[in-house]
Amino acid sequence: MPKILIIDDDYIICKTLVKKFTRLNHEAHYSLNLKQGLEKLFSDQFDIVFLDVILPDGNGLEAIEIIKDHPFTPEIIIMTGDGNSEGVELAIKSKVWDYIQKNGSHKEFQFSLNRALEYRHQKQSEIQRKPIKREAIIGNSRQIKICLETTSKASNNDVPILITGETGTGKELFAKAIHKNSVRQQNNFIVVDCAALPEHLVESFLFGHSKGAFTSADSDKVGLIKLADGGTLFLDEVGELPLVLQKKFLRALQEKKFRPVGSKKEISSNFRLVSATHRNLRAMVKKRRFREDFYFRIASIKMEIPPLRDRKSDIALLLTHHMNRKEKIDGYLHNVSDEFVDNLLGYDWPGNVRELLNTIDYACSDAFQESILFSKHLPDHIRAFNIKNRIKNRKESESTPCSKEKSAPVERLRLKEYMEKMKQQYVTDLMSHTRGDIKTACRLSGLSRGHLYALLKKYNISGL
Ligand SMILES: Nc1ncnc2c1ncn2[C@@H]1O[C@H](COP(=O)(O)OP(=O)(O)OP(=O)(O)O)[C@@H](O)[C@H]1O
């Protein structure tokens, strides 16, 4: 039975909607303020949330991102007062399902609800139909789930996809996952790092060459495009591909045919293209540093992998997985202290997952045979960053105590409250990942059974 939560301070509206939805055979609940609404939401699994904008203890629009962080990712329908279009852009950008007027007809409510439930049903059956092989991708944040959904969709077709994101966010990992989930999985996955190819040889590396094409070409050479025949070609750092070659590549992409350097004969290659970049290609197109026609061709599907600092709930999972992997290799398992985790959560990770994994390696090596990792085992710049942040936060909270307390959304929480939220998210993810198996959860997290039970009780997590 679909479960619906209404968060609105108007008691009459809540009661009317609960009655209406119950009659439609749905289970409906309500909360009259944001705090209770979020508590109710995070202690259960709702399909749809009807959310008011102006609530006694905050703005509903600012809670969208928090609601979307729920592992069950409910659909959100914003309800506003008469003629109030405040925040429509923000709501739509945050991918809410709908934005409706409170005084609209019952039919409007029902129509929006039915469509949202239909969509949810379809999404769930799609997920059940084809479970995606995650390969080595770790993370349960909403952002990673969205990227996995795109991966699943992209692996069902042959359309070129462009993956963007800062360095170390996992662009190559997702590219490989697309290949491994596609019908091309048995064939080659060829990686071309456009930034590392010597400029005068790029063309020959990509397209191949025939003997005598240039001074050092003493034999025919098969290019990387041909090697990807039947498989996937991954153009990493595509923003670095010289403009002249973009034109030649565009043709190869459209026709699946091209001419190796110095050859008179065209050859064919049936490859699927996945490209990646940390650059803003649209801006490069505007400055004429990237061909517009090539951009549109390679970016038929787009996937943006967000930086790690915007999905901190993934940090704890990455930490436990990496520690376990290390245990298998080194035969030695370190435990982690709370303050160590707090420091990881407090840092902003400009080098993203790559930097996090390297940092864990560094800390383990620094701790050597000491069994528990503390913040003193972290690189100095991370410790200094956290200490400075703590001092800054303390100063800010001392200078504006009232305004701080009023603001609930995550970006305005104090570091300690933020950490607490992250810990809660970690325990939730841990239990979902281990399907409630306490023994595995203890082994993965390094927590004692008693400590884990205490956390489950504290955060009111059912353990399943
Ligand atoms: N979600 C993830 N789960 C597990 N490991 C990850 C994840 N994301 C990235 N990594 C690891 O982080 C490192 C960097 O990942 P990857 O090379 O895919 O990033 P990238 O975005 O392609 O980086 P660059 O732009 O610098 O080439 C790799 O060791 C990869 O395995």
Over residues 425-452, the pLDDT tens digits come to: 888 888 877 778 888 788 777 787 888 8
Question: Which residue's alpha carbon is at the smallest distance from atom 30 of ligand 1?
Answer: 170
- Where does 43-133 have alpha helices with state H? 64-68, 88-93, 106-129
Contact 104, 140 (CB under 8 A): no
For the Cβ of 316 lying below 6 angstroms from any atom of ligand 1, the answer is: no
- Whether residue 285 is found in the same domain as residue 316: no
- Whether residue 76 is found in the same domain as residue 204: no
Question: Which residue's alpha carbon is at the smallest distance from atom 16 of ligand 1?
Answer: 170
- Whether residue 25 is found in the same domain as residue 71: yes
Distance, C-alpha 315 to centroid of its chain = 12
Choosing from 254, 287, 306, the residue where a domain stops is 306
For the Cβ of 175 lying below 6 angstroms from any atom of ligand 1, the answer is: no
Respond yes or no on whether ipTM tops 0.95.
yes
pTM summary value: 0.65
- Whether residue 231 is found in the same domain as residue 151: yes
Contact 373, 363 (CB under 8 A): yes
Orientation of helix 313-330 relative to helix 415-433, angle to 10°: 60
Choosing from 85, 106, 128, the residue where a domain stops is 128
Q: Is the pLDDT of residue 216 over 80?
A: no
| Residue 7 tokens, joined | 């968060």
For the Cβ of 387 lying below 6 angstroms from any atom of ligand 1, the answer is: no
For the Cβ of 222 lying below 6 angstroms from any atom of ligand 1, the answer is: no
3-7 sheet: strands from edge to edge: 27-31, 3-7, 48-52, 75-80, 98-101
In testing the pocket of ligand 1, which one of 150, 354, 361, 429 has its CB within 8 Å of the most ligand atoms?
A: 354
| pLDDT tens, position by position, 246-269 | 999 999 998 899 999 988 899 999
Sign of CA dihedral 91, 93, 94, 99: positive
- Whether residue 388 is found in the same domain as residue 421: yes
**Which of 13-17, 58-62, 121-125, 235-239 bottoms out in mean pLDDT, i.e. has the lowest?**
121-125
| pLDDT tens, position by position, 377-410 | 999 999 999 888 888 877 776 665 544 444 444 5
**Which of 183-197, 260-274, 317-331, 405-419 bottoms out in mean pLDDT, i.e. has the lowest?**
405-419
Choosing from 96, 128, 160, the residue where a domain stops is 128
Orientation of helix 415-433 relative to helix 449-458, angle to 10°: 110
We report the CATH number of the domain holding residue 209 as 3.40.50.300
Question: Which residue's alpha carbon is at the smallest distance from atom 29 of ligand 1?
Answer: 354
pLDDT given for residue 240 in this prediction: 94
Between the alpha carbon of residue 206 and those of residues 12, 230, 287, 341, 458, the distances in Å are 67, 16, 25, 44, 57
- For 158, residues 6+ apart whose C-beta sits below 8 A from its C-beta are 272
- Whether residue 417 is found in the same domain as residue 317: yes
- Whether residue 162 is found in the same domain as residue 100: no
Distance, C-alpha 145 to centroid of its chain = 6
What residue has token string 């909607």? 17
For the Cβ of 410 lying below 6 angstroms from any atom of ligand 1, the answer is: no
- Whether residue 190 is found in the same domain as residue 228: yes
> 77 CA to middle of ligand 1, Å?
35
Residue 209 counted as domain residue = yes
For the Cβ of 171 lying below 6 angstroms from any atom of ligand 1, the answer is: yes
Tell me which amino acid residue 219 is: S
- Tally of domains within the chain: 3
Residue 136 counted as domain residue = no
For the Cβ of 432 lying below 6 angstroms from any atom of ligand 1, the answer is: no
- Whether residue 115 is found in the same domain as residue 212: no
pLDDT given for residue 405 in this prediction: 43
For the Cβ of 311 lying below 6 angstroms from any atom of ligand 1, the answer is: no
| CA nearest to 61, candidates 97, 102, 94 | 94
Q: Is the pLDDT of residue 120 over 70?
A: yes
Residue 36 counted as domain residue = yes
- Domain range for 294 is 142-306
- State which ligand 1 atom lies nearest to the alpha carbon of 163: 21
The number of helix segments (H) and strand segments (E) in the chain equals 20, 18
- Whether residue 295 is found in the same domain as residue 322: no
- State which ligand 1 atom lies nearest to the alpha carbon of 356: 12
In testing the pocket of ligand 1, which one of 172, 355, 361 has its CB within 8 Å of the most ligand atoms?
A: 172
> 355 CA to middle of ligand 1, Å?
9
| CA nearest to 383, candidates 396, 395, 374 | 374
Question: Which residue's alpha carbon is at the smallest distance from atom 13 of ligand 1?
Answer: 354
The span from the CA of 214 to the CA of 210, in Å, is 9
How much is the average pLDDT of 328-343? 88
| Residue 424 tokens, joined | 């809660």
**Which of 12-16, 96-100, 404-408 bottoms out in mean pLDDT, i.e. has the lowest?**
404-408
The span from the CA of 164 to the CA of 275, in Å, is 9
- Whether residue 36 is found in the same domain as residue 50: yes
Residue 338 counted as domain residue = yes
The span from the CA of 360 to the CA of 335, in Å, is 12
Between the alpha carbon of residue 116 and those of residues 6, 73, 98, 152, 387, the distances in Å are 15, 12, 9, 21, 45
- Whether residue 291 is found in the same domain as residue 315: no
88 compared with 361, residue with greater pLDDT: 361
We report the CATH number of the domain holding residue 93 as 3.40.50.2300
Across 83-87, 206-210, 400-404, the highest mean pLDDT is recorded for 206-210
The span from the CA of 168 to the CA of 223, in Å, is 27
How does DSSP classify residue 261? B
How much is the average pLDDT of 223-233? 96
| CA nearest to 109, candidates 36, 238, 23 | 23
